[in-house]
Structure 1
Amino acid sequence: MNKELAEKSIAELATRIENKEISPVDVMQATFAQIEAKNPYLCAYVDTFDTEAKALAIHAEKEILQGNYRGKLHGIPIGVKDNLYMKGKNIRVGSKIHQDFIPSYDATVIQKLRDQGAIFTGLLNMHEYAYGFTTTNPYYGTCRNPWDLERIPGGSSGGSAAAVAADMTIAALGSETGGSLRAPASFNGIVSIKPTYGRVSKHGCFPFAWSLDHVGPMTKTVEDAAILLQAMAGHDPLDTTTASLPVPDYSSYLHKDVADMVIGINEEYLFANADEQVEKSVRHVIHELEKLGAKIVPVQFKTFENALFAFMMTMAAEATALHHENLVKRPEDYGIEVRTELMFGELISAVDYLQAQQIRRTIRDEFEEVFQEVDVIVGPTLPFTAGYIGTDTVMLNGEEVKLPEHVSRFIRPTTLTGIPAMSVPCGLVNGLPVGIQILAGPFMEKKIFQVASTIEALQLMRGLKPTFNSSLTE
């Protein structure tokens, strides 16, 4: 089986499929060969749709040969995080309580991609109820990072990120409430964008915290993220939080010159106490952007010191409100980690929650002011590379620190305010991927794609893939 097909991007495969140089059947067979070889080690999938996906690939091949090509996603294998509803499929949400849950309808994003010919390969492992950053799942297994099997892939979309990085799918869908798209993307050396809140429908995504939840793509390249986001985005009458704004052609902003773009750098918060080598990698990128004509300017945020309080109060209160009944009636059916987090949410007062919303508003207002002066803001996605499985601490500049306290420090303000942000690989530190984060104003994803494609063109990953890939299949 030609495993090189499984290593390709959506864009590369789409051109060859449209020109009838390759068949969706070949791509699907190559993808499932990677799944069969690697999933026993990575535990990225909790369920696969082998027979169904291969039958749909045969159908896609027939459609294309008959001149009915639906677009760039036609015949492309896509993995699905286990919290997105698929009609007739067992969606577990990484939990024991929902272990037998079978939705009667598709999530809006699933239906959109299905209509465009995408073929779903299976359901991807996640942290229980999306409430965590490791994807060490007590019910469906510990997901592992393909760059180092002793390391976490991040969470909660860890299975999605690991599957994309290990070529067990061409792209995947994930969700983010507190960093669950960008953190795994950074740890696994892939691309992911958290769209503006309201850009992509959440209908049919099992909620974590209603006002913080986002659905987004996880891909091998920036171009693929543009293709997939284009397909997913838009107003949905079934989700009243979605915006009615038109969706730009994101791909048209790829490879545009960044000369004269103004890029903001926030030293006090978005670079604070980052690993020295991670920081060095990100500053190298900034220097390269400056050499290409971008203007680099410092930006300050007075409100960020309160972001952690606002984020924790909002997330914990909303999550516990959702789970309150089950938490009271069947607490033992939650894993100890998630049960503890949900019990904390029971202690949050209305005063705490409302104060958090006031802080949230002030942070959003300050972002609005800053984005009147700059096009984007860049910095490290995470303060460090992936930590070890089985511990809640990581080493940061020689000090052992708590993973939950630090992993989303640079991510929280954007999730809290709903503005778009992307993580792009920008090299390796001690053999582990590092991500650079790009932030923009509401619905300004096009600026993110412009900068991200320029960063990707620097080829900072030098074409390197997880060594786990080659060692398994040789």
Structure 2
Amino acid sequence: MTERLTVQRCRELLARREVSARELTQHFLARIERLEPRLHCFIEWDAADALAQADAADAALKDGVTHDRRPLLGVPVGIKDNIAVRGQALRCASRILGDFRSPYDATVVERLRAAGAILLGRLNMDEFAMGSSTENSAFGPTRNPWDPDRTPGGSSGGSAAAVAAGECPAALGSDTGGSIRQPAAFCGCVGLKPTYGRVSRYGLVAFASSLDQIGPLATTVEDAALLLKVIAGHDPRDATSLPDPVPDYTAPTEPDLRGVRLGLPREYFGSGLAPEVEQSVRKAIEHLRGLGAEILEVSLPHTPHALATYHVIATAEASANLARFDGIRYGLRVEGQDPIELYERTRGRGFGPEVKRRIILGTFVLSSGYYDAYYLRAQKVRTLIRRDFLEAFTRVDALVAPVTPTVAFRLGEKISDPLQMYLTDVFTLSCNLAGICGLSIPCGWTASPCLPIGLQLLGPPLGEHTLLRVARAYQLTTDWHRRQPPLATDGF
């Protein structure tokens, strides 16, 4: 088996001049060319542009610039297709944006560039981040590297699959109801959803503005921590950005969890949880106990209402946010005899079925006579869900739970049943409603077929350092993160 090129390993090789940034980039581009016909993680990539960035990184390294100054210098990173990169297509895996190209960089992209990262290309996703399988992409589904007949999860399925397959050492995704953590669990990598406001949303195409958050996917906890350190921090261009200083998430820690209290939410271990998933998660919890953590049972009593609450709020905000895509200013335009017909034809042809479904539902819950019954009530329940978490965090430092009820399902298995698809996010979406942070880390594999299982850690607002401490301790004393899909083991 060949060595897995993590972000940290790339930095080591570059710092010791054992490989150049150009050679490293060529390696990942070669893997993309070889694996993309099977996996379809990327919507597009520009090899010439990536190599030009690599040459600039090599010049900086030659001039003595170190990774202490620019922590990602020469390291390739993939970008989800709903995050703006100047000069690149910004389609959100939808037809309605046509050939629109972004005139500016998102704040997270500016920070990646400042850190020296090489931007490889655009990663596939569910259209406008609406989905849990990456089957809703207008450019076709992404496949799971562990079993190409199965989904990588969604909506950041392209990001998770690319990292798991070794097409890039790390990637950015977005998480509105689990869209980083669920695909990370399905693909066997680390995914981190930061606290709402910890990372700027400027340049992220909005799905549900009060829920969306950008975060990293990587092969190790250390890599995810480094990317979070680079992209986190206040941004005056985002009114919801938090002013709190960014701690050093990369500070080394020991695998000693004495004094850490972890809560076990009883509502996350009920019916519908696959036996192999529950067994692996419970073994992981016992492992954490063995590292010194105190395990306490807690209750989040409003959890049963989270799924309905989420889909009222998320669809309402999506209906408002996607109203701007009308064929008038940019993107797809399908002419009509009058403006109404132009809107109908453009949106009818440009949006896919799942996006249309959510726009219609969101418009309904916001309509006259239904606003109080649905949207206003959902916001009140959201407050109760957040209070549940904050109350739990008065007793424990973090929560431990499954990421998903099952492992990755087959492509086509749930796409025609929206309710079954929505249920795959039942353990992740409360985190977004509450605005707290969450992390997924591999904790096991099913016997046959061999598919990853994820452990979810949930922390209080701005509690990322606690999640990373617990996740690092678990990773340092297990080897689940070292496993690679069979197609990812021939390489450098």
Q: TM-score range by the shorter chain?
A: over 0.9
Conservation of the 8 A alpha-carbon contact between 2:219 and 2:481:
no
User: Deviation per CA, 1:433-470, whole angstroms, max 9, x where unpaired?
Assistant: 00000011100100000100111123242732111224
Of 39, 54, 62, the residue aligned with 1:57 is: 54
Structure 1 unaligned segments of length 5 or more: list them: 395-399
Partner-residue secondary structure (3-state), 2:364: coil
Partner-residue secondary structure (3-state), 2:121: strand
Aligned ranges 1:326-365 → 2 under 5 Å: 326=325, 329=344, 330-348=347-365, 349-351=370-372, 352-365=374-387
Partner-residue secondary structure (3-state), 1:286: helix
Instruction: Provide the residue aligned with 1:152 in structure 2.
Output: 151
Cα displacement (A) at 1:402: 5.2
Cα displacement (A) at 1:345: 1.7
Conservation of the 8 A alpha-carbon contact between 2:187 and 2:452:
yes
Aligned ranges 1:130-209 → 2 under 5 Å: 130-137=129-136, 139-209=138-208
Instruction: Provide the residue aligned with 1:448 in structure 2.
Output: 467
Conservation of the 8 A alpha-carbon contact between 1:427 and 1:460:
no
2:422 is aligned with 1:425: no
Partner-residue secondary structure (3-state), 2:79: strand
Conservation of the 8 A alpha-carbon contact between 1:164 and 1:170:
yes
2:468 is aligned with 1:469: no
Instruction: Provide the residue aligned with 2:424 in structure 1.
Output: 407
Letter in 1 for 2:407: T
Per the alignment, do residues 47 and 401 of structure 1 end up closer, same or farther by CA in structure 2, a change over 3 Å counting?
Answer: closer
Q: Distance in 2 between matches of 1:401 and 1:53?
A: 38
Conservation of the 8 A alpha-carbon contact between 1:60 and 1:75:
yes
Runs of 4 or more, structure 1, over 4 Å off, are 325-328
Instruction: Provide the residue aligned with 1:40 in structure 2.
Output: 37
Q: Distance in 2 between matches of 1:340 and 1:45?
A: 26
Q: Distance in 1 between matches of 2:485 and 2:90?
A: 29
Of 381, 390, 393, the residue aligned with 1:371 is: 393
Instruction: Provide the residue aligned with 1:242 in structure 2.
Output: 241
Letter in 1 for 2:348: P
Conservation of the 8 A alpha-carbon contact between 1:387 and 1:393:
no
Q: Distance in 2 between matches of 1:78 and 1:325?
A: 30
Bigger shift: residues 244-253 or 161-170? 244-253
Conservation of the 8 A alpha-carbon contact between 2:164 and 2:187:
yes
Q: Distance in 1 between matches of 2:137 and 2:259?
A: 50
Letter in 2 for 1:374: V
Q: TM-score, normalised by structure 1?
A: 0.94
Q: Distance in 2 between matches of 1:58 and 1:324?
A: 42
User: Deviation per CA, 1:232-257, whole angstroms, max 9, x where unpaired?
Assistant: 00000000101000101011154352
Q: Distance in 1 between matches of 2:308 and 2:140?
A: 32
Q: Distance in 2 between matches of 1:37 and 1:393?
A: 28
The CA RMSD measured in Å over matched residues stands at: 2.0
Cα displacement (A) at 1:192: 0.7
Bigger shift: residues 154-163 or 305-314? 305-314
Of 463, 473, 478, the residue aligned with 1:459 is: 478
Q: Distance in 1 between matches of 2:281 and 2:220?
A: 18
User: Deviation per CA, 1:308-329, whole angstroms, max 9, x where unpaired?
Assistant: 2211110010001122465853
Q: Distance in 2 between matches of 1:256 and 1:288?
A: 11
Instruction: Provide the residue aligned with 2:335 in structure 1.
Output: none
Letter in 2 for 1:104: P
Letter in 1 for 2:480: M
2:435 is aligned with 1:436: no
Letter in 1 for 2:229: Q
Partner-residue secondary structure (3-state), 2:445: strand
Bigger shift: residues 124-133 or 250-259? 250-259
Q: Distance in 1 between matches of 2:190 and 2:457?
A: 11
Partner-residue secondary structure (3-state), 2:94: coil
Cα displacement (A) at 1:367: 1.2
2:190 is aligned with 1:226: no
Q: Distance in 1 between matches of 2:271 and 2:458?
A: 17
Per the alignment, do residues 240 and 272 of structure 1 end up closer, same or farther by CA in structure 2, a change over 3 Å counting?
Answer: farther
Cα displacement (A) at 1:99: 2.1
Conservation of the 8 A alpha-carbon contact between 1:148 and 1:468:
no
Per the alignment, do residues 325 and 217 of structure 1 end up closer, same or farther by CA in structure 2, a change over 3 Å counting?
Answer: closer
User: Deviation per CA, 1:371-426, whole angstroms, max 9, x where unpaired?
Assistant: 011011001110100001112179xxxxx995323211111111111100000011
Q: TM-score, normalised by structure 2?
A: 0.91
User: Deviation per CA, 1:24-79, whole angstroms, max 9, x where unpaired?
Assistant: 12211111111010011101011102111112212211211110224320000000
Instruction: Provide the residue aligned with 2:334 in structure 1.
Output: none
Structure 2 unaligned segments of length 5 or more: list them: 327-342
Letter in 2 for 1:366: D
Cα displacement (A) at 1:332: 2.9
Conservation of the 8 A alpha-carbon contact between 2:255 and 2:477:
no
User: How many residue pairs are counted as aligned between the two chains?
Assistant: 465
2:15 is aligned with 1:18: yes
2:408 is aligned with 1:391: no
Per the alignment, do residues 325 and 64 of structure 1 end up closer, same or farther by CA in structure 2, a change over 3 Å counting?
Answer: closer
Letter in 1 for 2:371: A
Bigger shift: residues 252-261 or 70-79? 252-261
Partner-residue secondary structure (3-state), 1:425: strand
Q: Distance in 1 between matches of 2:293 and 2:186?
A: 27
Conservation of the 8 A alpha-carbon contact between 1:35 and 1:168:
yes
Conservation of the 8 A alpha-carbon contact between 2:255 and 2:291:
no
Instruction: Provide the residue aligned with 2:340 in structure 1.
Output: none
Letter in 2 for 1:433: P
Per the alignment, do residues 217 and 138 of structure 1 end up closer, same or farther by CA in structure 2, a change over 3 Å counting?
Answer: closer
User: Deviation per CA, 1:266-303, whole angstroms, max 9, x where unpaired?
Assistant: 12235553110011001111111111211111001222
Conservation of the 8 A alpha-carbon contact between 1:393 and 1:402:
no
Partner-residue secondary structure (3-state), 2:295: strand
Per the alignment, do residues 172 and 314 of structure 1 end up closer, same or farther by CA in structure 2, a change over 3 Å counting?
Answer: same
Q: Distance in 2 between matches of 1:440 and 1:271?
A: 21
Q: Distance in 1 between matches of 2:198 and 2:392?
A: 21
Conservation of the 8 A alpha-carbon contact between 1:164 and 1:220:
yes
